[in-house]
């Protein structure tokens, strides 16, 4: 049975740590956050939300098949000999 506390609290948020962030990039994030009147943490969340909310419809990143074909096509095709298939056997007769 769930506790009352668990039923009234929203789902916990994930936490992420970003290491090896350039000092210049951190300074730009701090300045941008200040312009927007929010913390660096909230500004980083806003940037991530905006960047990931847009669906990328780039034709160059269509499918794995298209990417492989585009890379291999200039090299030319390969004709493979198909082995002959044996004739199909007669289906079993389950009659009398």
Tell me: the pLDDT tens digits for 21-76? 999 999 999 999 999 999 999 999 999 988 887 666 555 556 788 878 888 888 88
- pLDDT band, very low/low/confident/very high, at 95 (cuts 50, 70, 90): confident
User: Per the domain annotation, does 1 fall within a domain?
Assistant: no
Q: CA 41 to CA 48: how far, in whole Å?
A: 11
> Is 2 domain-assigned?
no
Q: How many domains, in total, are found in the chain?
A: 1
Asked, for residue 63, whether it belongs to a domain, the answer is: yes
Three-class SS of residue 81? coil
Distances (CA, A) of 23 to 17, 63, 65: 16, 37, 40
Within a domain: 44: yes
Range of the domain at 29: 14-71
Residue 66 domain flag: yes
Q: Is 9 helix (H, G, I), strand (E, B) or coil?
A: coil
pTM metric for this prediction: 0.48
Residue 82 lies in a domain: no
């Amino acid at each position: 049975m769930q506790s009352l506390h668990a039923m009234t609290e929203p789902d916990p948020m994930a936490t992420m740590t970003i290491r090896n962030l350039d000092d210049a990039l951190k300074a730009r994030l701090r300045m941008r956050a200040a312009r927007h009147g929010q913390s660096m943490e909230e500004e980083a969340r806003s940037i991530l939300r905006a960047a990931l909310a847009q669906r990328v419809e780039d034709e160059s990143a269509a499918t794995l098949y298209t990417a492989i074909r585009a890379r291999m096509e200039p090299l030319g095709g390969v004709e493979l000999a198909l082995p002959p298939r044996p004739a199909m056997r007669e289906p079993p007769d389950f009659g009398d």
